[in-house]
Amino acid sequence: MSKKRVIRVATRPSLLAKTQTEQTVELLKAKNPDIEFQIKTFSTKGDRVLDRSLTQFGTTGLFVKELEMAMLEGEADIAVHSLKDVPSINPPEFILAAYAPRENSCDVLITRLGESLSELKENFILGTGSPRRRVQIAQIRPDVTFKEIRGNIDTRIQKLKNGEYDAILLAAAGMNRLNIPFESKDTLDLDIMTPAIGQGAIAIECLKDDHETIKIVSSINDHDTEKAVLAERAFMAEIEGGCKFPLAAHAICKNDQITMTALVGDGQKLTQTKRTITVDLESSVKTAINLAQELKEECKKLNINYHLF
């Protein structure tokens, strides 16, 4: 009897990262019953340094680089990422070979006393370090007081319960993957809060020349997710804004068309400009790039230097 091929799967050590990797591996096993998948954890800089806001690092790929190094050094064959953590430009040695079906991409507002966003007291304290979230919440509640928050979902929820915050924002995808319940009323509609680029999507990365592995992992690729996130990431790559820049884009595929909402903001003035487009699938990436160019010009007119925020 021939020995099973083994594919080593790199992931981060957090509960959410391991859980979504395990869920992705189950999808791979169902499509590839003759393959053995072994999960290996590798700590990243973003996991180790928790006393600073992510925007203070001044770089991207904080949750990705060590996993890529593991593949380059022959310690892993593939890596499972939350797509929102993956830089818009891949190193030339790698390819994002597949995208699992996308989870709920919305943000969720969790409050200490169960209030809605409109019901929260004046000058309420909101826990978030995300420029994207700050800009959009400030449009609805300009009286908000922002306070930095780091840590996993459970840690953030406990800090809320302890009274450090009146409210926090979390990704619905992460909560669903960890089976943490929340009320449907707590979900912020997409017209209120445009998600981070790639939010809710899982990407599988591997070496670009490993054609056999690419074929295996592409067996779980979700076409609609792929088309949507390619448009979002094309927009992000063209904008060239860093992690300190309030930037969002979210695309939905339906009937051979993509509807994408994109947003850029001013992290100091807490203002934003937002556009929505609907185009056919074939021209979605090109149109997303054109939209980014238009919004860059608008940023110049509004004196928004997005490279600094």
pLDDT at 2: 60
> Band of the pLDDT at 52, cuts 50, 70, 90?
very low
Are residues 134 and 65 part of one domain?
no
Residue 166 lies inside a defined structural domain of this protein: yes
94-123 tens-digit pLDDT: 999 999 999 999 999 999 999 999 999 999
- State if pTM tops 0.95: no
Are residues 28 and 119 part of one domain?
no
263-309 tens-digit pLDDT: 998 888 888 889 999 999 999 999 999 999 999 888 888 777 655 43
Tokens of 106: 């919305």
Q: Is the pLDDT score of 59 beyond 70?
A: no
166 is catalytic: no
Residue 194 lies inside a defined structural domain of this protein: no
Structural domain boundaries, residue 262: 223-309
Residue 50 lies inside a defined structural domain of this protein: yes
Residue 195 lies inside a defined structural domain of this protein: no
pLDDT at 272: 87
CATH number at residue 157: 3.40.190.10
Q: What's the mean per-residue pLDDT of the chain? A: 90
Are residues 118 and 91 part of one domain?
no
Are residues 243 and 96 part of one domain?
no
Domain boundary among 144, 166, 188: 188
Residue 236 lies inside a defined structural domain of this protein: yes
170-221 tens-digit pLDDT: 999 999 999 999 999 999 999 999 999 999 999 999 999 999 999 999 999 9
Q: How many domains does the chain have?
A: 3
Are residues 183 and 38 part of one domain?
no
> Band of the pLDDT at 53, cuts 50, 70, 90?
very low
Mean pLDDT throughout 47-63?
50
Are residues 119 and 149 part of one domain?
yes
Q: Which of the following is catalytic: 77, 85, 107, 186?
A: 85
pLDDT at 38: 98
Residue 193 lies inside a defined structural domain of this protein: no
CATH number at residue 240: 3.30.160.40
130-183 tens-digit pLDDT: 999 999 999 999 999 999 998 889 999 999 999 999 999 999 999 999 999 999
Burial 2-22 (b: 16+ CB within 10 A, else e): eeeeebbbbbbebebbeebbe
